[in-house]
Structure 1
Amino acid sequence: MRTLLLNNLILLFTLLCFGCSSGSDDSGNPDPDPDPDPITNPNPNKTTTYTNDVKAILDDQCLQCHTIPLAQGAPFAMRTYAETINAINNREFFLRIKSTGFNVMPPEGRLPQETIDIILDWEADGLIE
């Protein structure tokens, strides 16, 4: 009898746990993603381009190392649009400029968020020259 009662309590507890999951609200609709992706297009009302918006940032912040001759261990140049696209395709460019930890670029310190947003908007707009 005691085993039957214990089994029934375990079954009841299991049903309650699965029946009260937080996967949906009372209407049956799934809960919104609790950890949505970060903003993928910081400025959707503007088309950001390399020539008009990004080149000046790279010239000011990156060419100390990413030029010819390469300096401070930089693995590639970023003097031109083609070189920059090559860098983006072969490295974790966007992760490094967004980083707040170990591999932040530039090494002197993280760029201001407004500057990072321009670069991220350029990515969202399709890396237009």
Structure 2
Amino acid sequence: MKNLKKSCRIILLLLLTILSLNCSSSDESAEPLTPTNPNTNPNPSKITTYNADVKSIIDNQCISCHTIPLAEGAPFAMRNYAETINGVNRDLVLRVKSNGVNVMPPAGRLPQATIDIILDWEADGFKEK
């Protein structure tokens, strides 16, 4: 009986060890989404707004999928400021900055100068006008 308890404890300890090793939070296939630093402003001498700077990027790069009806698996529309802010609240900026599998647009990462406009808009508080 004593040996049975000891064996059960060893097996339980071994299972817990294996389980803890398999429950790692890292996923090497996807780039981790890291919070943006609102103090990072690629163009501090300019106030970037949706209407003046970002809408044209959305219209040229995003609207083909993020419209009504939604296309290519897009989960939300981005036809105007309010809908684009909905996208911002759903990690749009992180996906635009990504170098991994979650990059937006799916065709490939935007040029850094375009990403900087979006980051500047973020740093300026996602202003509409």
Query: RCO greater where, 1 or 2, for CA within 8 Å and sep 6 or more?
Result: 2
Question: How far is the alpha carbon of 1:40 from its aligned partner?
Answer: 1.2
Distance in 1, Cα, partners of 2:86 & 2:39: 24
Q: What does residue 70 of structure 1 align with?
A: 70
**RMSD over aligned Cα, in angstroms?**
1.4
Q: Following superposition of structure 1 onto structure 2, how do residues 1-129 of structure 1 map, counting pairs within 5 Å?
A: 40-89=40-89, 91-129=90-128
Distance in 2, Cα, partners of 1:128 & 1:47: 8
1:38–1:83 CA distance, 2 compared to 1 (3 A)? closer
Question: How far is the alpha carbon of 1:38 from its aligned partner?
Answer: 9.6
Sequence identity of aligned pairs in percent?
Answer: 73
Distance in 2, Cα, partners of 1:85 & 1:127: 8
Q: What does residue 25 of structure 2 align with?
A: none
Q: Structure 1 segments of 4 or more deviating over 6 A?
A: none
Larger Rg: 1
Distance in 2, Cα, partners of 1:114 & 1:39: 18
**Contact 2:49–2:127 under 8 Å retained in 1:** yes
Distance in 1, Cα, partners of 2:110 & 2:40: 18
Structure 1: unaligned runs, 5 residues or longer: 1-36
